[in-house]
Chains A and B, each alone.
Chain A
Amino acid sequence: MNSFLWARAPIALVPVMLFLIALVQGDSFKLVRLRTVLILLAVGAVAAGVSYAINAYAYEHFAGGFDAYSRFISPWIEECAKAVIMLYLIRTRRVGLLVDAAIAGFAIGTGFALVENLYYLASRPDTSLGVQVIRGFGTAIMHGGTTTLLAILSITLFERRPNGRWAVLLPGILAAVVLHSGFNWLLVKPALAALAMLLVLPFAIYLVFRHSERTLRNWLDADLDSKARLLELVNSGTFLDSPVGRVLNSLRDRFQGEDLADMLCLLRLHGELAMRAKGVLLLRESGMADLPLDDETRDKLAELAQLERSIGTTGMLALRPLMMATGKDIWQLRLLSR
């Protein structure tokens, strides 16, 4: 790296990094660890490398000019490369809320932008300072913002359809591509494009963040309450007389006695683990250290997996209305085993 690059690189890299740090620090529940952020930055950087290779090949075979390519083709390639990582995070329940999805999305976009801006600086050393400022404040924030938008839309859809596959990503990819393409259209007036990104995206992300934290607090309250009530019913032996117990009882015609016993055990275990996960969130929100995963919780997680296998897909589908198994419910158990 030459001295020119050292001198100019901060302009292109620092704004987006500062915004990412602000997002991570602004998360009261500390859902995304520093290590995860660094990994996502690296993976985003790899996505930029992959996109570069695909773009180079596609541009060679593209009949139109550079403007048309940057408006209609490259946004698809670049947003899809970032979306693959997001899909992996969502499907494996590594993110489960708007807050952690937004941070993960912005980190991936930031990693992507860092490589893209460094490449741009290195390959065009004669670029004016103004363009580099625009790349730092505009293009980099845009990459973070589009992936955040993709993440927010996808996790919202996934929350409603936890078993959704690629379809949950499509609206997010479309929105990210439209935003990316719109930015590239505006590049005929680069200062305007950068200003638009700088004014709109961070503010929009901030609003989503605040809304998500409120939603998370409400969910914590409501779900802690309902799980505590469920466990109280099970422990007091009055579960079968409760509305949930009667629903479980109504499954007698379709399942054998031992399956129903397993289902009751699973409901109880799921309730206990869900409460443990909420304990982790409350500790983080209070700024206290996480508890190490104790043997009891580890055993419960193993038993839960065993019960899920034993009950089978049909049984789990029958149980779903009783377990309120939304994306968040599934994600919180993953939080325990991390």
Chain B
Amino acid sequence: MSDAAFSIRQGAHAGEILMSGRLDASQCDAALAFLNAVKQPEVIDLAGLDYIASAGLRVILMTVKRCNAQGSGVRLINVCAPIYDIFHYAGFDQILDISRAAN
């Protein structure tokens, strides 16, 4: 697991968001503020994310809740195996549209 700094940015199109590094408690406010500023997030690409803490899961859940309330959905894509396992063990794979990164 690398110790890359957390980064969140816009992807190729308006609804695409790219996350990388470590999403821990210290980064959550910034991450949530960024996500809230995106009117209608469609895809969150977690390919570069190598760590997520419970505070990070909270950010994802709050974004999903907002999108669900808007009637749109948000997909989590390219989730690496260790982080996918966290979503799975927490039971979130049952309510989130989530797909693993290709090996």
- Residues of chain A at the chain B interface (Cβ within 8 Å): 217, 220-221, 224-225, 227-228, 231-232, 235, 271-272, 275-276, 278-280, 282-283, 285-288, 291, 294, 297
Residues of B within 8 A of A288 (CB): 61, 64-65, 95
Residues of B within 8 A of A225 (CB): 53-54
Alpha-carbon distance between A282 and B53 when the two chains are bound, in angstroms: 11
Q: Is B97 an interface residue (CB 8 A)?
A: no
CB pair B91–A221 under 8 Å, yes or no, is: no
CA distance A288 to B89 in the complex (A): 17
Tell me whether A282 and B58 are in contact (CB under 8 A).
yes
Q: Give the shortest distance, in Å, between A229 (CB) and chain B (any CB).
A: 9
Q: Decide yes or no: A220 and B54 within 8 Å by CB, A235-B85, A288-B61 being known contacts.
A: yes
Which of A271, A286, A287 gathers most chain B CB within 10 Å?
A286
CA–CA, A280 to B25, complex, Å? 19
Given contacts A225-B53, A276-B89, list 6 more A-B pairs with CB under 8 A: A221-B53, A231-B89, A282-B57, A282-B58, A286-B58, A291-B95
| 8 A Cβ contacts from B72-103 to A | 82, 85-86, 89-92, 94-95
User: Can you report 21 residue pairs joining A to B where beta carbons are below 8 Å apart?
Assistant: A217-B54, A220-B54, A221-B25, A224-B53, A224-B54, A224-B57, A224-B86, A225-B54, A228-B86, A232-B82, A272-B89, A275-B86, A276-B89, A276-B91, A279-B57, A279-B89, A282-B61, A288-B61, A288-B64, A288-B65, A288-B95
Contact B90 A287, beta carbon cutoff 8 Å: no
Residues of B within 8 A of A (CB): 25, 53-55, 57-58, 61-62, 64-65, 82, 85-86, 89-92, 94-95
Contacts of A228 in B (CB 8 A): 82, 85-86, 89
The answer to whether B61 and A276 have CB atoms under 8 Å apart is no
Q: Could you say which residues of chain B place their CB within 8 Å of the CB of A271?
A: 89
Q: A291 with B53: in contact, given A228-B85, A272-B89, A285-B58 (CB under 8 Å)?
A: no
Q: Does the CB pair A221–B61 fall under 8 Å? A: no
Chain A residue nearest to B95 (CB atoms) is A291
Report Cα–Cα, A199/B89, bound state, in Å: 44
Q: How far is the CB of B23 from chain A (nearest CB, A)?
A: 12
| Chain B residues in 8 Å Cβ range of A280 | 91
Indicate if the CB atoms of B58 and A294 lie closer than 8 Å. Answer: no
A278: chain B residues within 8 A (beta carbon)? 54, 90
